């Protein structure tokens, strides 16, 4: 069991006029980090749709900002599973710059049928895959 970390450089397009990362960009970086975390476990997120007709949707997201990221910073986003239920999971995504805590995203993903948006249980393969993002305490 392990967490997943990935680095992103902050570009001008990510910032406001003052060179501070625009608040909504944290959600975009978090989305990319989740996608890469799943891919690192050997399964592209697109295969959930192609093989099972299911997709992830964000049901809830909370962002706690502490220290702003700025133009040209290298931000590390670390993703870990906090909780898993039959048709949803809760992930924590921590943004750091070096050893400095910058922000935290707490996100709940629901598994739904692509054809009608109704909740669906995670297939066993995906349940086991997500569990591998559970960090050892």
Instruction: Name the one residue in this structure whose structure tokens are 């921590």.
Output: 94
Residue 111: name the closest of 97, 127, 96, 131 by CA. Answer: 127
For 72, left (φ over 0), alpha (ψ -120 to 50), or beta?
left
**90's tokens:** 């809760």
Does the annotation mark 60 as catalytic? Answer: no
Distance CA 3, CA 27 (A): 18
Q: Which residue in the list 7, 14, 16, 72 is annotated as catalytic?
A: 16
Give catalytic residue positions.
Answer: 16
């Amino acid at each position: 069991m392990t967490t997943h970390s990935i680095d992103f450089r902050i570009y001008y397009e990510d910032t406001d006029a003052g060179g501070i990362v625009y608040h909504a960009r944290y959600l975009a970086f978090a989305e990319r980090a989740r996608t890469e975390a799943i891919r690192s476990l050997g399964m592209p997120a697109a295969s959930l749709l192609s093989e099972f007709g299911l997709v992830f949707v964000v049901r809830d997201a909370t962002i706690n900002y502490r220290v702003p990221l700025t133009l040209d910073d290298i931000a590390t986003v670390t993703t870990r599973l906090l909780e898993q239920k039959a048709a949803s999971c809760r992930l924590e995504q921590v943004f750091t710059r070096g050893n400095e805590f910058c922000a935290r995203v707490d996100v709940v993903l629901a598994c739904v049928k692509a054809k009608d948006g109704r909740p669906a249980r995670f297939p066993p393969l995906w349940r086991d895959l997500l569990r591998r993002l559970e960090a050892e305490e």
